[in-house]
A and B are shown apart, each in its own frame.
Chain A
Amino acid sequence: MLILTCPYCGQKSEETEFHSGGEAHLKRFGPGSTDEDFQEYLFVRENPKGVHFERWRHIYGCGKWFHAARCTTTLEIFGTYSAQTVKPPKELRDKISAKRPGWSWRTYP
């Protein structure tokens, strides 16, 4: 059972207090988009062995959605941040690159 820290209320809590919401930073495709783009948006997900960005909601707390960067192999949480952004904050990206040499945003080994 993971421990997550909600970036809104600052509460560090057990996983049971949160609700997971799958991959973060998806771009929505609506009417007018191509079948390929729409299919990608609906069904295609990252499945990295390593750094993963995911959505969580502090459902039994402040109710806010936020993002977490987590390693899928060691379960390390690199950080959590606001869901109201299109990419992870620079400090977090730098921290992950330092901990996982070779990693950079939107490139997966």
Chain B
Amino acid sequence: MSARLSAYGRLLNKARSVNFTFNGKKFRGYEGDTLASALLANGQILVGRSFKYHRPRGIVAAGVEEPNALVNLGVEGNFEPNQRATTTELFEGLLATSQNHWPSLEFDLGALNSKLSRFMPAGFYYKMFIHPRPLWKYVYEPFIRHAAGLGKAPKNRDADTYEHFYAFCDVLVIGGGIAGLHSAKAAAKSGARVIVLEQSAHWGGRALVDGGEVDGSPVDNVVDKLLTELSSLENVTLRNRATGAGIYDHGYALGYERLTDHTSDNAGPRHRLWRIRASHVVTATGAIERPLSFSGNDVPGVMLASAVRDYVVNYGVGVGDRTVIVTNNDDAYRTAIILKKSGLVVQAILDARMLAVDSPLVAEAKSVGIRVLMGHAISKVLGGKRVTAIEVCSQAGRGTVLEKIECDTVAMSGGWSPVVHLWSHCGGKLIWDENFSMFRPDVDKAPKGVDGTAFVSPAGSANGHFGLMELIGDAHAMGQGAAEAAGFVCKRASAPEGSYIEEAPMVPVWLMPQGANFALRSKSWLDYQNDVKVTDVQLAAQEGFESVEHAKRYTTLGMATDQGKLSNINGLAILSDALNQPIPQTGTTTFRPPYTPISLGAIAGEARGEVFQPVRRTPMHDWHDANGASWEPVGQWRRPYAYVQPSESIQDAVMREVKNTRENVGLLDASTLGKILVKGPDAGKFLDMLYTNVMSTLKSGKCRYGLMCNENGFLIDDGVVARINEETFLCHTTTGGAESIYGHMEEWLQTEWWDWNVYVANVTEQFAQIALVGPNARQVLERLSGMDVSKDALKFMEWTDGLLGGFDVRIFRISFSGELSFEIVIRSSEGQTFWNALIKAGKDLGIMPYGTEALHILRAEKGFIMIGDETDGTVIPQDLGLHWALSKKKEDYIGKRAHARSHMSNPERWQLVGLETLDGSVLPDGAYAVAEGVNANGQNNVQGRVTSSYHSPNLNKGIAMGLVIDGPNRMGQIIDFPGTDGKTYQAKIVNSVFYDPEGEKQNV
């Protein structure tokens, strides 16, 4: 039925044919074809099945607004679903398959849904599948997911690469049609830096299809000349295959450029995301033709009139042999005239209007012998997988069939809607234009930039100006205005003059025929991609979904991948009619970026794999890696979880490390712990505000453990503070807390106590820190010699500086394990050498490195809390039995006032206890303890939870810590912890210090 027309095809290179495959079948097209035009040229109009009812669907449009022709492209690592055939450029070897059907496109079992469509209106799923509840998850949802939807998600890792570009310009022009190019020229002449983005491969837009003249030259010549001129200007960047995807605050815009999608050569990045900062943006984004709502308007062969014209002129494809045109405006007559000229049959033009006088286009159509039926409409389209005929009725009536016209194609036009998406992304407002029944930009309510002035200007048909004369005048003025807004001076130059063709006014037609009965309305599609019909929107209104945003969500109108480019205005009109209110009162839904879908790869850019997030490495990182480290991510750091030796499991390694540390000596890379220097005359006063206990009384050379809360009273960090001298303190934070606590200190210093003389510096990465832990620890240090680390010379909670084995070090005698323990600090650059020296010195003393899991077990055996395990942002020091660390003497500290709030002293708070299972097994981490009875939702009441749980190799049993209601007063009680494994664990509430409760081992 559809075929190539030898006299047409301005975008084709007919000397070069291109082979491609659709659903396994081999086809041939020409260089310059889109997948859609090549399929049409091969007679393949059926390209997919609809989302919900699995109705056969054909190509409707010729551009980005296409709702039906979505295909899977490529295979494996290059597979991508939901690609629009109308914007996919053909290349040798292209592989495409259609979507949403089983077993095949031609025969789809899911089409049964269409027979049931009477019983599946909007909201059907919500109403039908609500009871019984469990069936939703296990029966209904999997079934619906299988039956509904579009393409399948890719299974393979994306084989392509992507990149980001940062660009800055004075004027960004979005759209490279005749309007955009004129705006760009007008702006560029002022000297402004201009970037022009065109979404398609071709410049000049629709003007080249429709023709006309500018300053007496035909538009083709005008576009060529403009391109030559703009390309030669150094201040202009032209990018085609680059969509202006979104406009954001203060002139930020995203461009989405496709670099290799149009070729079989995949070298280099596939997509490029342009992150543009523009002083001013011109949205010359064109307009989109609207469908008409009549029964069977989704049958393959029903297309937009402009698309039928595009396929003839651009691709030399006659979509069908016998076409009926149905319209409410003059523009569709251009399609009829072109078809007639190309030798195809136009059966009739059904024009819903009644015109007193023929406009030039109407007269021309009649003069070339086309039958024009004024005041007529389509009652119904006949045909299944292709249009076979239409039934004609009067637009004013209820659909009584006056005659039947055989045809294979219906070209429809409901008028044009300016593409206002980009104008609206950042808050540009719209007004309703009565003449064209369309929303267009309200230029007085433009998006505002950083200084409160407008930073977006719409131009051309995107601004509601149709016809070359008006459109070019507008584009020129907007281009100049944009340059001026960006601070440039434009010489007074008169706008080029476009030719003028008088057109008769369109009349709004939102339903065809006007009085269509239910049967007709229930087959009149609004949203092809999401299968929403006129009756669905009417039902939504009837059921009270009166807000356009509610009606949209209830019916899913405009929520598919095309974001309602064709459906929205027709849907709004139907909703307004159902609510008996004017369209502007109903308003539009919100336009959100991106304008067309952009690939996730482009958004990610280079940030994938290793460069997704930088990894922080301690000075000893490589040594750990070479010595069996099983890595654990801790924030951006990687820390060894355990050092696994050959023939050992990770768990074996952890057990060995714990035992060896308690029995001999262990070595821990503690470099990741935060180290913050606090210095100045008011340093002590400042730390007294930050920590819950007193720090200002600490003597130089001593250490003190401290807690930090936020203003809500919740524990945020803990660590050891050392006083270096009168004015200097070194605060240790948790690994994860280093940056946030440093930020916390800066915030209070800069925004509350800015008159205090204190300076803070985060020196975490400047030093390596190594914990040497275990009964043999002192011996190792003594072997290195140079410093007195004896029991009396360096007491518990003291520190000293010196030369140890020739290394310039600071030694803290602190312990997070309950063992004799030293933490030695050295410049990062010497960390590895010093680590090696320790290992060498301790070789026959049983020295072994241990990882974070051993660290956790060692501290849990002692009942030491861990920020992030025992705390979760809702835990106060009192919950953890840390009352001793809360100063009563201090008038104020951050969190003190909050601790006086009533709920903070509630005895019902969950408080820290130790937990021991009755059988010695390990409690599941995070398990909840159940209490008597059930809550309002029928769930078991709870009375506590496990916060840390391990197997202790020293005690040879499971040990755990947990928060339990009134826990400390319930010692010896047994509570139940149901596990996710179906087993219930019984545990006894005990003291949380499991090992060496007297604390003798660290004081040797």
Chain B nearest Cβ from A52, distance in angstroms: 14
**1/0 per residue A75-95: CB within 8 Å of B?**
111100001100000000000
Q: Is the CB of B750 within 8 A of A83?
A: yes
**1/0 per residue A95-109: CB within 8 Å of B?**
000010000000000
Query: Which residue of A is nearest B891, CB measured?
Result: A31
Q: In the assembled complex, which residues on chain A have CB atoms less than 8 Å from the CB atom of B277?
A: 3, 14
- How far is it, in angstroms, between the C-alpha of A65 and the C-alpha of B252 when the chains are bound? 24
Q: In the assembled complex, which residues on chain A have CB atoms less than 8 Å from the CB atom of B449?
A: 76
Residue among A2, A31, A59 having the largest count of chain B Cβ atoms under 10 Å? A31
Q: Is the CB of B897 within 8 A of A30?
A: yes
Q: Is the CB of B450 within 8 A of A57?
A: no
Q: Is the CB of A65 within 8 A of B746?
A: yes
CB of A29 within 8 Å of the partner chain: yes
Q: Is the CB of B897 within 8 A of A1?
A: no
Q: Is the CB of B249 within 8 A of A75?
A: yes
With A31-B897, A65-B751, A99-B452 in contact, is A75–B250 under 8 Å at CB? yes
Partner of B250, one of A1, A30, A59: A1
Q: Is the CB of B747 within 8 A of A57?
A: yes
Query: Which residue of A is nearest B902, CB measured?
Result: A35
Query: Which residue of B is nearest A70, CB measured?
Result: B450
Interface members, chain A 10-39 (any B CB < 8 Å): 14-15, 21, 28-33, 35, 38
Q: For the side of the interface on B, what is the size category?
A: 20 to 34
- How far is it, in angstroms, between the C-alpha of A63 and the C-alpha of B743 when the chains are bound? 9
Q: In the assembled complex, which residues on chain A have CB atoms less than 8 Å from the CB atom of B252?
A: 1, 14
Q: In the assembled complex, which residues on chain B have CB atoms less than 8 Å from the CB atom of A42?
A: 711-712, 898
With A65-B746, A77-B450 in contact, is A33–B897 under 8 Å at CB? yes
Q: Is the CB of A30 within 8 A of B452?
A: no
Chain B nearest Cβ from A77, distance in angstroms: 5
CB of B448 within 8 Å of the partner chain: yes
CB of A74 within 8 Å of the partner chain: yes
- How far is it, in angstroms, between the C-alpha of A28 and the C-alpha of B427 when the chains are bound? 36
With A31-B892, A63-B746 in contact, is A76–B450 under 8 Å at CB? yes
- How far is it, in angstroms, between the C-alpha of A65 and the C-alpha of B451 when the chains are bound? 22
CB of B136 within 8 Å of the partner chain: no
- How far is it, in angstroms, between the C-alpha of A74 and the C-alpha of B453 when the chains are bound? 9
**1/0 per residue B215-257: CB within 8 Å of A?**
0000000000000000000000000000000001111100000
CB of B901 within 8 Å of the partner chain: yes
Q: In the assembled complex, which residues on chain B have CB atoms less than 8 Å from the CB atom of A76?
A: 448-452
Q: Is the CB of A55 within 8 A of B751?
A: yes
CB of B611 within 8 Å of the partner chain: no
Q: In the assembled complex, which residues on chain A have CB atoms less than 8 Å from the CB atom of B452?
A: 71, 74, 76, 78, 99
Q: In the assembled complex, which residues on chain B have CB atoms less than 8 Å from the CB atom of A28?
A: 752
Q: In the assembled complex, which residues on chain B have CB atoms less than 8 Å from the CB atom of A21?
A: 747, 751
**1/0 per residue B745-765: CB within 8 Å of A?**
011001110100000000000
- How far is it, in angstroms, between the C-alpha of A29 and the C-alpha of B896 when the chains are bound? 11
CB of B900 within 8 Å of the partner chain: yes
Q: Is the CB of B248 within 8 A of A1?
A: yes
Chain B nearest Cβ from A57, distance in angstroms: 7
Q: Is the CB of A65 within 8 A of B747?
A: yes
Residue among B711, B743, B750 having the largest count of chain A Cβ atoms under 10 Å? B750
Chain B nearest Cβ from A12, distance in angstroms: 9
- How far is it, in angstroms, between the C-alpha of A7 and the C-alpha of B751 when the chains are bound? 14
Chain A nearest Cβ from B709, distance in angstroms: 13
Chain B nearest Cβ from A66, distance in angstroms: 9
Q: Is the CB of A65 within 8 A of B897?
A: no
With A57-B747, A76-B450 in contact, is A35–B249 under 8 Å at CB? no
- How far is it, in angstroms, between the C-alpha of A101 and the C-alpha of B751 when the chains are bound? 30
Q: In the assembled complex, which residues on chain B have CB atoms less than 8 Å from the CB atom of A15?
A: 249
Q: In the assembled complex, which residues on chain B have CB atoms less than 8 Å from the CB atom of A35?
A: 901
Q: In the assembled complex, which residues on chain B have CB atoms less than 8 Å from the CB atom of A1?
A: 248-250, 252
Partner of B897, one of A14, A29, A78: A29
Query: Which residue of A is nearest B253, CB measured?
Result: A1
Q: In the assembled complex, which residues on chain A have CB atoms less than 8 Å from the CB atom of B743?
A: 57, 59
Q: Is the CB of A74 within 8 A of B448?
A: yes
Q: Is the CB of B891 within 8 A of A75?
A: no
Q: In the assembled complex, which residues on chain A have CB atoms less than 8 Å from the CB atom of B901?
A: 35, 38
Q: In the assembled complex, which residues on chain A have CB atoms less than 8 Å from the CB atom of B451?
A: 76-77
- How far is it, in angstroms, between the C-alpha of A29 and the C-alpha of B448 when the chains are bound? 37
Chain B nearest Cβ from A24, distance in angstroms: 9
Q: In the assembled complex, which residues on chain A have CB atoms less than 8 Å from the CB atom of B248?
A: 1
- How far is it, in angstroms, between the C-alpha of A65 and the C-alpha of B749 when the chains are bound? 10
Q: Is the CB of A3 within 8 A of B712?
A: no
Chain A nearest Cβ from B792, distance in angstroms: 41
Q: In the assembled complex, which residues on chain A have CB atoms less than 8 Å from the CB atom of B746?
A: 57, 63, 65
Q: In the assembled complex, which residues on chain A have CB atoms less than 8 Å from the CB atom of B754?
A: 83-84
Q: In the assembled complex, which residues on chain B have CB atoms less than 8 Å from the CB atom of A83?
A: 750-751, 754
Chain B nearest Cβ from A35, distance in angstroms: 7
Chain A nearest Cβ from B850, distance in angstroms: 35
**1/0 per residue B697-713: CB within 8 Å of A?**
00000000000000110
Residue among A1, A57, A71, A73 having the largest count of chain B Cβ atoms under 10 Å? A1
- How far is it, in angstroms, between the C-alpha of A59 and the C-alpha of B252 when the chains are bound? 21
- How far is it, in angstroms, between the C-alpha of A9 and the C-alpha of B743 when the chains are bound? 19
- How far is it, in angstroms, between the C-alpha of A14 and the C-alpha of B251 when the chains are bound? 11
Query: Which residue of B is nearest A28, CB measured?
Result: B752
- How far is it, in angstroms, between the C-alpha of A80 and the C-alpha of B719 when the chains are bound? 36
**1/0 per residue B724-753: CB within 8 Å of A?**
000000000000000000010011001110
- How far is it, in angstroms, between the C-alpha of A77 and the C-alpha of B750 when the chains are bound? 22
Chain A nearest Cβ from B47, distance in angstroms: 38
Query: Which residue of B is nearest A29, CB measured?
Result: B897
- How far is it, in angstroms, between the C-alpha of A78 and the C-alpha of B449 when the chains are bound? 11
- How far is it, in angstroms, between the C-alpha of A59 and the C-alpha of B873 when the chains are bound? 24
Query: Which residue of B is nearest A41, CB measured?
Result: B711
- How far is it, in angstroms, between the C-alpha of A35 and the C-alpha of B743 when the chains are bound? 28
Q: Is the CB of B750 within 8 A of A65?
A: yes
Chain A nearest Cβ from B681, distance in angstroms: 18
Chain A nearest Cβ from B745, distance in angstroms: 12
Query: Which residue of A is nearest B742, CB measured?
Result: A63
Residue among B277, B747, B751, B896 having the largest count of chain A Cβ atoms under 10 Å? B751
**1/0 per residue B444-464: CB within 8 Å of A?**
000011111000000000000
- How far is it, in angstroms, between the C-alpha of A108 and the C-alpha of B750 when the chains are bound? 27
Q: In the assembled complex, which residues on chain B have CB atoms less than 8 Å from the CB atom of A74?
A: 427, 448, 452
Query: Which residue of B is nearest A85, CB measured?
Result: B754
Q: In the assembled complex, which residues on chain B have CB atoms less than 8 Å from the CB atom of A3?
A: 249-251, 277, 450
Query: Which residue of A is nearest B755, CB measured?
Result: A84
Contacts A/B (CB < 8 Å), 5 sampled: A1-B248, A1-B250, A2-B249, A75-B427, A75-B448
Question: Given A73-B427, A76-B449, list of 14 further CB < 8 A pairs?
Answer: A1-B249, A3-B249, A14-B277, A30-B896, A32-B897, A38-B898, A41-B711, A42-B712, A57-B746, A57-B747, A64-B750, A74-B448, A77-B451, A78-B452
Of all A-B residue pairs in the complex, the 10 with the closest CB atoms, nearest first, are A76-B452, A74-B448, A84-B754, A65-B750, A1-B252, A3-B250, A30-B892, A31-B897, A3-B450, A83-B751
